[in-house]
Amino acid sequence: MPNKGQKVIFTTISIDKETASLVAKIGKRYSLKKSEVVKLAFLYLEKTHINPADAPESVKSELAKINKRQDDIIRFIRHYEEEQLNPMIRTSHAIATKFDILSKTLETLILSQLEKEQEKYHAVLHKISDQFQKHADVINNQGKHIGSLQQVQKKDNTKLLKLISLYSDLATCGVMDGKRKENLKSEIIDLIDEK
């Protein structure tokens, strides 16, 4: 935009009546002055690099050119897809398939190894369990044997106490207690012979 302090110098151009009416019509349609219409038209031509001398023949021919360019681009994309993308997709699919097969093979191998190791561990644990069971049986048998020895010991102790009591009674018997002495002696002999 020109500075307000600067003076704008206007020049004139000559156009025919038909062009003048076209400029007026466009100005009226878009609420622009004729000078603004001309200025904007030139800015548009400059910006888009359109040569006004090579104006399009028709919209139909321009659309045909655009369609041709689109078809060329689509052909290029299809060709690129055929030549580059599809082989890459097939290769990556083959790699993925091999990887899947390999991972399944490794999984099977690992699972079989784990099963073998589990079987070994179970066998070792079973042996340890059997050994513990044997030791427990020995300890239980020894406990029973000790219990039976305790019973025998208890019985022997009771017998010994009874013998001591009988000998004590025998020792306290006087000369006159002959029958009682005989009874005590026979009890002592019976108690000693008792199994």
What are the boundaries of each domain within the chain? 7-55, 155-193
Rounded to 10 degrees, the C-alpha dihedral 183/186/190/193 comes to 160
Evaluate whether 182 touches 175 at the Cβ level (below 8 Å): no
Residue found under tokens 């070994």: 120
* In the predicted structure, residue 138 carries a pLDDT above the cut 80: yes
**pLDDT for 142-170, tens place per residue?**
888 888 888 888 888 888 888 788 777 77
What predicted TM-score, i.e. pTM, was given to this entire model? 0.34
For residue 32, the model assigns a pLDDT of 92
d(CA 188, CA 190): 5
For residue 182, the model assigns a pLDDT of 78
For residue 56, the model assigns a pLDDT of 63
Bigger pLDDT: 130 vs 51: 130
For residue 187, the model assigns a pLDDT of 78
- Band of the pLDDT at 87, cuts 50, 70, 90? confident
The chain-wide mean pLDDT, for the chain, equals 84
Beta strands in 37-147 (DSSP E): none
Residue found under tokens 């041709």: 68
How far from chain centre, in Å, is Cα 182?
96
For residue 80, the model assigns a pLDDT of 87
Pair of tokens at residue 104: 């399944």
Evaluate whether 41 touches 13 at the Cβ level (below 8 Å): no
Instruction: Please give the average per-residue pLDDT across 87-115, as a whole number.
Output: 91
For residue 25, the model assigns a pLDDT of 93
Evaluate whether 9 touches 35 at the Cβ level (below 8 Å): no
For residue 195, the model assigns a pLDDT of 62
Q: DSSP 3-state assignment of 46?
A: helix
d(CA 166, CA 176): 17
Instruction: Please give the average per-residue pLDDT across 79-91, as a whole number.
Output: 87
CATH code of the domain made up of 7-55: 1.10.1220
Instruction: Please give the average per-residue pLDDT across 176-195, as a whole number.
Output: 74
Residue found under tokens 């307000």: 4
Residue (of 117, 119, 116) closest to 127 by Cα position: 119
Provide CB contacts within 8 A for 10, sequence distance 6+.
Answer: 35
Which of 53-57, 75-79, 130-134 comes out lowest in average pLDDT?
A: 53-57
* In the predicted structure, residue 78 carries a pLDDT above the cut 60: yes
Evaluate whether 162 touches 191 at the Cβ level (below 8 Å): yes
- Find the length of the chain: 195
Evaluate whether 37 touches 26 at the Cβ level (below 8 Å): yes
How far from chain centre, in Å, is Cα 134?
45
